């Protein structure tokens, strides 16, 4: 909760950039507080792990991995990452991403990690391939980005 102001600034910068993420409207401090309360509950209940990255005194990214509560899918982790524009291309995202995966495997014993990414987000897809993910499919018009339906790619990493 002590990072709430910095997280609001980070999220809103991604919205302003119209980054290819699920973040599509600016948020208020109260909206972020509600989100964080839920996230902290998931962490306390051993359902997820989230790391925030600070660089030069600013929150510039976050990455989280969650358990799937279905008994037939609880060996699969869902991962997501966001990184501010000025922090990209410096290796920070890769370190953060790898650390979250490492902690997720250790804590939850995942066998597979999956993610969804906008198909046109080539830099992200290349990044995910670099860290061992492979493309397994596409959902045509599977994601909404600022009122436009866009294709979503499904990627997995087998451990």
Above 90 in pLDDT, residue 68? no
pLDDT tens track for 84-139: 998 898 899 999 999 999 999 999 999 999 999 999 999 999 999 999 999 999 99
The band of 143, judged by pLDDT with boundaries at 50, 70 and 90, is very high
pLDDT at 30: 96
pLDDT at 83 over 90: yes
Give yes or no for residue 1 having a pLDDT over 80. no
Which pLDDT score, from 0 to 100, does residue 69 have? 83
Q: How distant is the alpha carbon of residue 126 from its chain centre?
A: 16
Q: Residue 3 has what pLDDT?
A: 83
Q: What is the pLDDT of residues 14-52, one digit of tens each?
A: 999 999 998 889 999 999 999 999 999 999 999 999 999
The size of the chain, in residues, is 159
Q: Of 159, 81, 86, 158, nearest to 121 (Cα)? A: 81
Domain boundaries, the chain: 4-158
Helices (H), the chain: 4-17, 29-44, 92-108, 122-130
Domain range 4-158, its CATH number among 3.30.365.10, 3.40.50.300, 3.40.190.10, 3.40.630.30: 3.40.630.30
Half-sphere exposure of 118 (CA within 13 A, CB side): 18
**Which tokens hold the place of 12?**
């809103």
- What pTM does this model have? 0.91
pLDDT at residue 74, rounded to an integer: 92
Residue 37's CB is within 10 A of a number of other CB atoms, namely: 10
Residue whose C-alpha is closest to residue 74's, from 103, 122, 107? 107
């Amino acid at each position: 909760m002590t990072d709430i102001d910095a997280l609001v600034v980070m999220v809103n910068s991604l919205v302003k950039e119209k980054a290819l993420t699920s973040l599509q409207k600016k948020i208020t401090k109260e909206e972020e507080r509600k989100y964080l309360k839920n996230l902290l509950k998931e962490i306390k209940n051993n359902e997820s792990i989230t790391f925030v990255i600070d660089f030069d005194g600013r929150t510039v990214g976050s990455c989280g991995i969650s358990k799937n509560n279905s008994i037939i899918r609880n060996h699969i982790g869902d991962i997501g990452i966001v990184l501010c524009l000025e922090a990209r291309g410096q290796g920070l995202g890769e370190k953060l991403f790898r650390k979250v995966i490492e902690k997720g495997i250790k804590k939850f014993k995942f066998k597979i990690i999956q993610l969804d990414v906008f198909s046109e987000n080539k830099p992200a897809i290349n990044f995910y391939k670099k860290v061992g993910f492979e493309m397994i499919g596409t959902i045509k018009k599977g994601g909404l980005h600022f009122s436009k339906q866009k294709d979503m790619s499904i990627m997995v990493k087998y451990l």
